[in-house]
Amino acid sequence: MTTDVRHPPQPPVATGVRGLCPRCGQGHLFDGFLTLAPSCEVCGLDYGFADPADGPAFFVICFACVPAVILALWIEMAFQAPYWVHLFTTLPFLLLTCVPPLRPLKGWLVASQYYFKAEEGRLETDDRVPAAAPTELRS
């Protein structure tokens, strides 16, 4: 990893979770709640490299939705609650455990992509290796 004298490497957790630029740690990463800004207003880093895809939603589903579903099932099994009880208990719990972590998780994933120079996978072809297996290995 090449380091810029003006911008030493920033830890992804410290910058990403707070929504700061992964290079300088000062500019804003987001333009809206989950919309990435086009570039950093301080150092000019283009955020075009960033592609967290469904990563934040995956982590939220795995770690936040499971307790909400367990709560809903417990309320249903213990009290046989009507739907309106779930509306006022389970739904707010679900929203409070699922929506707020999305932004810090997305920031952390984008900062990690920058820090570790993550890119889309590519297949490398080597002209020295034959495309087909040798005939003696085919039998």
Can you give the pTM of this predicted structure?
A: 0.79
Q: What is the pLDDT of residue 137?
A: 55
CA distances from 84 to 78, 81, 96, 98 (A): 16, 8, 18, 20
Domain limits, the chain? 12-119
Q: Tell me the one-letter amino acid at 110.
A: V
What six digits make up the tokens of 88? 């006022």
Task: Determine the pLDDT at residue 121.
Answer: 81
d(CA 125, CA 139): 25
Tens-place pLDDT, residues 100-125 = 999 999 999 999 999 999 988 888 87
Whole-number pLDDT of residue 14: 94
What pLDDT score does 46 carry? 95
For the chain, which ranges sit under pLDDT 70? 1-5, 126-139
At 3 the pLDDT is: 47
Q: What's the pLDDT at 76?
A: 96
Structure token digits, residue 86 = 């779930």
